[in-house]
Structures are given as C-alpha cells and as structure tokens.
Structure 1
Amino acid sequence: MTVPSILITPAAGHADAPLVVLGPSLGTSTILWEDVIPALAAQFRVVAWDLPGHGASPAASESFTVEELADAVADAVGEPFLYAGVSLGGAVGLCLALRHPAQVRRAAVVASGAKLGEPEGWLERAAQVRAQSTSSLIIPSAQRWFAPDSIARRPELSGRLLHALQGADDESYALCCEALAAYDVRGSLGEIRMPVLAVWGQYDGVAPEAKSAEIASGVTDGSIAEIADAAHLPPAEQPEAVAATLLQFFWEAR
C-alpha cells in the first residue's frame, strides 16, 4: 500500500477566506462540482481534487486504501479546511475526520456511508474494468448516478460526467474499487468529534437515507439533510440545493 498522487484545482474565491475542499465520486472528476463552486466561492476559497487516474490526477499503479487517499488529500492541501465529498469522496471525508482531526474543521459526507456495498461486488467490478475497461460501466453507472429526470434536465453535464468515466484510467479505477472493498469505518464513527453533515439524494439506491442516518447517529456531532430529485450525484443533479445546504453548514464555521 502507498499514498497515491492526486492533483487539486487552483483555488476559486477570496484569497483570505476559509478553505473548502471538494471530493469526487468514483468515475467522475472535478466536473461534478463545477456548478456548485461559484456559489461557494462567493464566501469561501474553494478547491477540488481528482481521484488517481481520473481527471487531472496521475494514474496509480500500486494499491492504496481509502485512508491513504485521505492522507494524500491532507498532504496536498497542507492547511486547515472544510470538506465535502461525494460517495468515495465522502468516504475519504470520514477518513480525513478520523486521521486528520486537527486539519478538518467540518465534513459534509454526500451520497456516501461508513461502508459502501459489499467487498465481493467491488472486487467483481475491479475485475470487469480490468477485462473490459470503464466503457463497460457506462449504462449501469448512468442508472445508478442519476434520478429519473436528471439526464433530461441536464443532458450536457450528464454526458460529460459519463465521458469522464469512460476516460478514467482502468487500473486506477480498479484500484479504487479494491480500496472500497476494504473500507469500513462503522466501528470508528464515535471517534469523530467535529461537526459532520450526512447528505443523501432522494432517489439514491447506492447510499440511501439509512447510510446518512448511520453516520449522523454514530459521530459525536452529526446532522442529516436530503436533496430532493437527486440520486447518487447531487452536486451535478441539484447544484443549487447542494450549494445552499453546504453554505449553511460551512457558514457556522466562519
């Protein structure tokens, strides 16, 4: 295992404002957050990061854990920050809260959980991608990612997100799947002391309300919020609602 390399976008917003770091879902890129960033940047300094082999981040060739992804984010940022991440990016947020509590001021965990799926499912997906590439995931990912009307409502952005999945490095994607197969912080939630907001999409079958409720009840200072008419990628599906939810949560830390 090793700490992977990731890249972070240039900061948007005021140079002297508190920093917000945004994390991606597996198979996406910083595109996921592009319609939320302007609203956050009006009050904060905002950066986003890409998973290994996704977007601008270099491909990975060695195994890593979700905890090591969290270490990579903390090292790359290098200062205190507020955090929001989706799915795998949300799992990284919980690991950041556990491993870097002096650096993470608040964490919003979006469409995620303290455990996601079953190990065998992630290992099967890793094998599929190595054999057939991420192109084989386009249809099932579209079905998981988007609420019934999301693609019709935002066809251009939905298409770009699916293209980002197709463009992800196959081995890096598979290694992310293997990291998720080993991920389970349910027994450690009580160690998280900073405020945590667990957010779910109304139609999310991957990380439904029960996942958010488990997080909020397990940490010391947890709360929950639903994003209506969204599934597994709320920042892309309902950017205004996500921005408003995060602004309210982060504003209390200013």
Structure 2
Amino acid sequence: MLELTFTRLAGGDNSRRLLVVGPSLGTSVEALWGECARLLAPEWEVVGWDLPGHGRSGPALSPFTIDDLADAVRGFSADLARDRPTAYAGVSVGGAVGFQLTLDPGPFAATVAIASAPKIGQTSDWLERAELVRRAGTPVLVAGSVLRWFAPGFTDRAPRTVDTLLRSLSDTDKFSYAWVCEALAYFDLRDQLVRGRVPVAVMAGGHDQVVTPELARTATGTAHVLQSCAHLPPAEDPAATAELLTTLLSAKAAL
C-alpha cells in the first residue's frame, strides 16, 4: 500500500464525528485545511493526509494512481473511525480521491469533492506539466499557481496564507508532483459514479478557472458554489467552507 502521512488538524478522540480531509496538488494539508479544521472542532476530529512528497509525506518511490491514494486513505481511516460517523472531503486531486472512494467507501458514510470533477483537465496537459516539473522543479509553477489558486484580491487580503501555500508548493518533491500529474492524466470516473455506494456532494469556487462550477456540476448535476473562492476554498474562506461542509454532510448521511 502507498504510504501517506496523516496529521490531526483539530478535535480529538473524544470528538463525536470524524472527518478525513485531502489536499490539492502542490499544497500541504495543514496549510490548506488548518483554519477550516479548527472551525469544525470539537464536534469533528479532523485528520488530514498529505500527497507523496508534499507536506509531511515522504517522496514516492514509484508511480501511483488515484485508486492507490484512495486505498491508502481507506485503509488508514478504517482504524481511526472506530464506531463514529465518518466522512471524507478533499480538494482538487483530494476531491478526485473522494470520487474514487464512493466506489469502495470503507468507513466513509459520505464524501465531499471540492474544486474537483470526475475528470480534471486534459491528459496531454497533465503529462506536459509532469515533464516540466521533472526538468525545472516545482518553483517554476509558483507564478501560475497564484492565478489558478486564488480569487481576485485574495493575495492582498491574506498575504500570510498565500505565502504559506506557495512555500508548500516550492518545497514539494518534484518527482512525486510529476507522478500526481500522471495519476490525474489517466483519472476518469465519468462513467462510473453511477455505481457509487455512498452519497457525494460537490462544492466549487465561483472564481475557479481550473474546475469551473460548470465542470464541477458534471459529477452529480449540482454544485454548491462558494462565490468568494477560486480553487482552494478551505484556505480562501474557511468559515464558509466549514459551514457548508457541516450542512452537506448532515443532509447527505445524517452525520
């Protein structure tokens, strides 16, 4: 099984419910989810996982798929869940893992995919980015990520949050990042979500140009849009994200 590092972000063993959260490509889960997680405690114990070579996870040693990531998340979470109501939420590639988990959910009673879709981007674009990063490293992506990740004006309103997220990108292992790109290149669940065994809800950022609200709606026909956000809602608007997550999970699975 692929080895990932899991980190408690908020809450604890006494929290009534468990939420496992996943990151976006190029981010550490603590930088992306930290403030949002604190707003969900103490009702939820929030535990995040880092992609290979990102945040606290060691670098990957070989290629992997979105299904491999889902297997690792499912396996770790089964022991952590115990008898508590348990849900999953992930951003972008973390949301892709959420879609994958609906097919074999393990302990999860519901999932939420944020800024994600059953197929994200074009295969050729992901493969080109993988090769670019292998040659030049992840810092080459920083300038473009500012435009992709954040809604207009956010860099001025929250420079510390922006700096933390961009540093997490620069610190990411370039080979692991490239393998995530290749996993996304071949990820496509558009014809399989009808077989999902647990409910999935979709959230989108109103300014997101990576996964537009229109693209996000292709998963279920409905996307709950956070108008103030672009591609990283848990960091851009932690309060609105936490409130919507709580509402969606309560509605989807009586969690």
> Percent of counterpart pairs with the same letter?
41
Aligned equivalents of 2:10, 2:148: Cα separation in 1: 30
Task: Report the Cα offset of residue 196 of structure 1.
Answer: 1.2
**1:65-214 equivalence runs, <5 A:** 65-79=65-79, 80=81, 81-98=86-103, 100-214=104-218
**1:213-224 equivalence runs, <5 A:** 213-217=217-221, 223-224=222-223
Secondary structure of the corresponding residue to residue 216 of structure 1 = coil
Q: Please, which runs of 5 or more residues in structure 1 have no aligned partner?
A: 218-222
Secondary structure of the corresponding residue to residue 232 of structure 1 = coil
Provide, for residues 201-243 of structure 1, a one-character-per-residue CA deviation record: whole Å limited to 9, x for no partner.
Answer: 00001101122211113xxxxx531111110011111111101
Does 2:229 align with 1:230? Answer: yes
Aligned equivalents of 1:96, 1:196: Cα separation in 2: 10
Aligned equivalents of 2:9, 2:185: Cα separation in 1: 32
Aligned equivalents of 1:25, 1:11: Cα separation in 2: 16
Provide, for residues 28-66 of structure 1, a one-character-per-residue CA deviation record: whole Å limited to 9, x for no partner.
Answer: 011100110111113111101100000000100201000
Aligned equivalents of 1:34, 1:170: Cα separation in 2: 24
Aligned residue for 1:47? Answer: 47
8 A Cα contact 1:125 1:174, kept in partner: yes
Secondary structure of the corresponding residue to residue 220 of structure 2 = helix
Aligned equivalents of 2:224, 2:9: Cα separation in 1: 27
Provide, for residues 94-143 of structure 1, a one-character-per-residue CA deviation record: whole Å limited to 9, x for no partner.
Answer: 11111x23422111100000000011100100000000000100001111
Aligned residues: 246
Task: Report the Cα offset of residue 11 of structure 1.
Answer: 5.9
Task: Report the Cα offset of residue 192 of structure 1.
Answer: 1.1
The residue type paired with residue 22 of structure 2 is G
8 A Cα contact 1:114 1:211, kept in partner: no
8 A Cα contact 1:198 1:224, kept in partner: yes
Comparing 9-18 and 140-149, the one that deviates more = 9-18
Secondary structure of the corresponding residue to residue 34 of structure 1 = helix
Aligned residue for 1:220? Answer: none
The residue type paired with residue 182 of structure 1 is Y
TM-score normalised to structure 2 length: 0.93
The residue type paired with residue 196 of structure 1 is V
Shift of the 11–151 alpha-carbon distance from structure 1 to 2, 3 Å rule, reads: closer
Aligned residue for 1:13? Answer: 11
Aligned equivalents of 1:49, 1:38: Cα separation in 2: 16
8 A Cα contact 2:9 2:34, kept in partner: no
Aligned equivalents of 1:166, 1:11: Cα separation in 2: 22
Aligned equivalents of 2:12, 2:75: Cα separation in 1: 22
